[in-house]
């Protein structure tokens, strides 16, 4: 859920949007925001499943320290989504375990 109006920060203004693809589905994200924030705005909170027990994980520290929010971004696994900004056309996928590389990157 986006905080559109805020008693201290005021109204959210002049939003530019980009298109990203999350788990195969198209989605709008705010230009320059972190992938994790874009996903939380849409209520998506599972970023990855653990390798051994296949347990879900989501945001824990939000500032790039803990690695719980790692996802596969543009085919690259292990990307900390809380400190990686969205880009037009970016693909973002839930990571299974350590994830796997896709494409020629």
Partner 1 sequence: MKQCEMLVIGGGPAGLSAAIEAAEAGVKVVIVDANEKAGGQLFKQIHKFFGSSMHRAGIRGMNIGQELLERCEKLGVDIWLNSLVIGMYKDNVVAIDVKKNLTEHKLEKIQAKKIVIATGASENAVRFPGWTLPGVMGAGAAQTMANFHRVLPGKKVLMIGSGNVGLIVSYQLMQAGAEIVGIVEAQPKINGYAVHASKLTREGIPIYTGYTIVEASGDERVNKAVIAKVNPDWSTEPGTEITLDVDTITIGAGLKPLIGMSYMGNCHLMNDRFLGGWAPCHNYSMETTTKDVYVAGDASGVEEANTAIEEGKVCGIAIAQALGYLEEDKAEQMKKEAWGRLAGLREGAHGAERTAAKERQLLEYKKVMEG
Q: Tell which one of 73, 77, 92, 99 touches partner 1 (CB under 8 A).
A: 73
Q: Measure the CA–CA gap between 8 and 68, rounded to whole angstroms.
A: 30
54 lies in the binding site for partner 1 (CB under 8 A)? no
Closest CA to 104 of 78, 84, 75, 79: 75
Residue 13 within binding range of partner 1, rule CB under 8 A: no
Name the phi and psi angles at 39, rounded to 5: -70, -45
What residues make contact with partner 1 under the rule CB under 8 A? 1-3, 6-9, 12, 33-34, 36-37, 40-41, 45-47, 55-65, 73-74, 76, 79, 82-85, 105
């Amino acid at each position: 859920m986006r905080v559109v109006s805020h008693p201290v920060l005021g109204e959210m203004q002049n939003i530019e949007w980009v298109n990203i693809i999350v788990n195969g589905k198209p989605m709008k994200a705010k230009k320059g925001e972190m992938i994790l924030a874009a996903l939380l705005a849409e209520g998506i909170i599972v970023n990855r499943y653990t390798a051994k027990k296949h347990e879900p994980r989501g945001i824990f520290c939000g500032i790039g320290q803990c690695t719980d929010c790692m996802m596969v971004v543009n085919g690259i696994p292990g990307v900390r989504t809380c400190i990686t900004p969205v880009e037009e056309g970016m693909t973002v996928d839930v990571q299974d375990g350590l994830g796997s590389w896709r494409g020629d990157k």
